[in-house]
Amino acid sequence: MRYLITGGAGFVGSHLAEKLLERGDSVVLLDNLSTGSMENIRHLKSFERLQYHLDSIENKQVLAELVDDADIVVHLAAAVGVRLIVESPVRTIETNVNGTQLILEAAHKKRKLVLTASTSEVYGKNTQVPFHEDADLVLGPTTKGRWSYAASKALDEFLALAYWKEKKLPVIVVRLFNTVGPRQTGRYGMVLPSFVNQALEHQPITVYGSGKQSRCFCDVRDTVGGLIRLMDCERAIGEVVNIGNTEEITIEGLAQVVKERTQSRSEIVYVPYEQAYEPGFEDMQRRVPCVDKLHALTGFRPQTPLSEIVDRVSAYFREKRAAAAAPRTVASSAD
């Protein structure tokens, strides 16, 4: 099979590309490197079945050609991270909504299967955990920019499902719950890589808010496994499916786990939301997925334990530090 992955140089995209290439598929990556990185895919360049294009999905000619050549389109390109969302709400909305519309329009012309990534953020302030795919989406007011990401991704879902119902374009919508692992950056507010970096440097581990808010963290290997199984499942077409781990932990609990597993001397400090982001910032207290639908469709449930996830992320950043500190060998030539 030939896969086109938008946002393919990003965290999840690069891991998905790696797995598909390992199993013998052909992969084409499209990324403008706004949040992705060439470092994420450098190790994949040895695969002859890999192609990558450093361009935007807004380049309609390039997009049309790549969609035409693909069997399946995986749409991961999006504005991501709480910090980016708060600081650049216009970019968030335009990137997410316009990008998805362009992908669906191009795929519809050739009737290509589209898997589009949504987020657990769409559940908003809903307190009925675990979250089921047919649960109400309870978002905050439009005056709070924090909800612009959730609203834009919810609109993406509506649009994808409308293409399926009205135009019979095969689509699958996945709601990802806090995917984490090696190659994820803390640059845009991702909590686990931020905590691990702070712990390894023995700097204060900064917990935003009370720290009582809880999340479930899913190893990127499990997320990728779920994505691939869903794309291989014809019954998943036209469905919205959660992908996430169900092991719940508070953010202050996560900070403690990171401190212990990295054997760090860091202290854990608390930073008010209004200082970390903006006045009046709102957050979700709990975010726990129900993955029964994923299991019913594919027989798969993410279950990598948090301790193993933290160890993998820690090992990744330790290796990066060691590589950066290693002396570089400079070749010299005789006169």
- Residue 149 annotated to the active site: yes
Q: How far apart are CA 75 and CA 30, in angstroms?
A: 10
pLDDT per position as a tens digit, 243-257: 999 999 999 999 999
Instruction: Answer whether residue 165 shows pLDDT above 60.
Output: yes
Domain boundaries, the chain: 2-180+218-246+288-303
pTM, 2 dp: 0.94
- DSSP, collapsed to helix, strand or coil, labels residue 117 as strand
Instruction: Answer whether residue 12 shows pLDDT above 50.
Output: yes
Q: How far apart are CA 302 and CA 226, in angstroms?
A: 8
pLDDT per position as a tens digit, 59-82: 999 999 999 999 999 999 987 766
Q: DSSP H helical segments within the chain, as ranges?
A: 11-22, 60-69, 82-87, 89-110, 148-167, 191-200, 220-231, 251-261, 273-276, 292-298, 306-325
Instruction: Single out the catalytic residue among 149, 163, 188, 277.
Output: 149
Beta-carbon contacts of 269 under 8 Å, excluding residues fewer than 6 positions away, are: 204, 205, 206, 207
| pLDDT, mean of residues 100-122 | 96
Mean predicted lDDT score pLDDT of the chain? 93
Residue 83 pLDDT class (50, 70, 90 cuts): low
What per-residue confidence (pLDDT) applies to 85? 67
pLDDT per position as a tens digit, 211-254: 999 999 999 999 999 999 999 999 999 999 999 999 999 999 99
Please report, to the nearest 10 degrees, the dihedral formed by the alpha carbons of residues 312, 80, 75, 65 taken in order: -110
Specify the CATH class of 2-180+218-246+288-303 in words. Answer: alpha beta
Residue 332 pLDDT class (50, 70, 90 cuts): very low
**By C-alpha distance, which of 178, 165, 261, 269 is closest to 216?**
178
